[in-house]
A and B are shown apart, each in its own frame.
Chain A
Amino acid sequence: MIKFENVGLRYGMETEVLRDVSFEIPERSFQFLTGPSGAGKTSLLRLLFMSLRPTRGSISMFGRDIASIERHELPILRRRIGVVFQDFRLLDHMTTFENVALPLRVRGKDEADFRSDVSDLLNWVGLGDKLHALPPVLSGGEKQRVAIARALIDQPEVLLADEPTGNVDPHMARRLLRLFLELNRSGTAVVVATHDLGLMEQVDARRMILNNSHLDIYG
């Protein structure tokens, strides 16, 4: 479904963040992306989300070379991808409920049709009593869970999660991991970027490890 071939990435004139990175993300697969801080996990996810173009190499998404994708096609392709940003990116003037419902709203769906789905998902991530809270009054972990719910709500074909458990306790982290596995079982390919070893030990999944600009894959 997603294929990287000899991808290189450099910011400006600095040394390459990624060098000769090749891998595939098959449909319905589950993988961790790990590596030390600053190794380039977020950068790799940005490439996967098409918000960055590689300096070298080729990337194909859903069977299409991203170099050939037109500007106006991007929103439609992005609808097939769910992202949990490391810095959440919630809209502060909207309630938790509305933030999670936003992807459905911009797709022109009717609130009557998704209202219970959104509430169910928020209940699942433990925010059933915070439906009408605004992000500025939420804790870091709560914001993170809202961001996760927003990424999941439309059952994307690919989920890209950048440190999705960075702000929650181990119990909640396990719970969120279960949510990702659940989503994976229902057909979504999942990439979880994390340096939480404890989290990775709970699942026997493929590990993509970034180190010194290189990517090694185990499993």
Chain B
Amino acid sequence: MADTPMQMNAETQVTQSAKPTPIVPPSNIAGQALSLVIAIMSFLACLTVGAVLMIDRSASAWQSQISREATIQIRPARDFDIETALMEAQAIAAGFEGVVNARIIDLPQTANLLEPWLGTGIDLAELPVPRLVVIRIDERNPPDFKAIGAAISEAIPNATMDDHRAWVDRLVSMARTTTFVGVAILALVLTALVLTVVFATRGALASNHVIIEVLHFVGARANFIAGQFQRRFFWIGLRGAVIGGGGAILLFLIFQFWAQRNLTTAQGEQVAVLFGDFSIGMGTFIGALLVIALVATLTTLTARLTVIRTIYEIDEQRADPSRQFY
């Protein structure tokens, strides 16, 4: 034990590293668990965002595809020249404003359409099969369906006009319901995300109570202490959220890649009809970024408020000596 310890200074000054240990320990079990929880919750939230956006997009795609068309159906009858009637119907429909074109489904195409029910190799000319004229509509300037329908059934009694209104209405309400359910689920997931982040952050902070107390007692201001913790927890939150959100986006990309590769197969086509083109639009990316920003902000803010409240409680105890402390 040296009474004049100056000899040791040279050495100690050199060995004292330039970068001081952070006041909040860089990583402990609680911090890693917090990161993991945040990653999982962010992953789920981003998946939900993506799924809701995809449903919304598919729903409006069905809706517009179907509402873009109307059909005129002409039933065959004895002594009735269906081909002439088809052409007449086509001419009447095409004459209306708001109709882009009217197309007769010819016999081979009709056979194609009926193939699943009737099989191949059937001579349709001998069967009383109804025939169709498909009318494409200018969506922005739709024609007067009633007027077309009236004109056609006046000219051709066997013809009926179907503007798919019933279908469209049903699809619209279904799409709305689906989107609404999706948004409700998203709200639940986001609520769970917020609560999990808040409670997990507070849990992770609990192990740091001693640090807060010691800092407070050696004269650190509340702002200083909160600053130390919120910086650390910002990074913990950001790391978790980026891992989770990134994972979700990666999953969507894999899905999209798989869907595009399989688009040419019948199975792929079915999937495409159901879910649209599967492309993860800009919306999903923006949604994921928002989730990440939300989580990082939330973690930071929770850390700050929890630290400030802990200090408040430490000081409260001086007003109420019966409470355990020191």
The CA-CA distance from A182 to B2 in the complex, in Å, is 17
Known contacts A46-B326, A71-B315, A103 near B211 by CB under 8 Å: no
CB distance A106 to B15 under 8 Å?
no
CB distance B222 to A120 under 8 Å?
no
* A131 to B: closest C-beta gap in Å: 6
CB distance B210 to A89 under 8 Å?
yes
Asked if B128 is at the interface of the complex by the 8 Å CB criterion, the answer is: no
A132 / chain B contacts, CB cutoff of 8 Å? 15
CB distance B321 to A106 under 8 Å?
no
Known contacts A53-B321, A71-B315, A93-B25, A120 near B6 by CB under 8 Å: yes
The CA-CA distance from A49 to B219 in the complex, in Å, is 11
CB distance A106 to B12 under 8 Å?
no
The CA-CA distance from A54 to B318 in the complex, in Å, is 8
Chain B at the A interface: mostly helix, strand, loop or mixed?
helix
The CA-CA distance from A105 to B225 in the complex, in Å, is 12
A55 / chain B contacts, CB cutoff of 8 Å? 321
Among A50, A71, A123, chain B packs the most CB atoms within 10 A around the CB of A123
Asked if A124 is at the interface of the complex by the 8 Å CB criterion, the answer is: yes
Chain A residue nearest in CB terms to B225: A106
| Among A27-35, A94-102, A185-193, A203-211, the stretch in contact with B | A94-102
Chain B residue nearest in CB terms to A128: B8
Binding site for A on B (CB under 8 A): 1-2, 5-6, 8-9, 12-13, 15-16, 20-21, 23, 25, 210-211, 213-222, 224, 312, 314-315, 317-322, 325-326
18 chain-A/chain-B pairs, Cβ below 8 angstroms: A10-B321, A10-B322, A12-B321, A51-B314, A52-B317, A52-B321, A52-B326, A76-B221, A79-B219, A102-B218, A103-B218, A106-B215, A106-B218, A106-B221, A111-B20, A115-B16, A123-B5, A124-B5
Given A50-B318, A128-B5, 5 extra CB contacts under 8 A: A12-B321, A13-B322, A78-B217, A106-B215, A123-B2
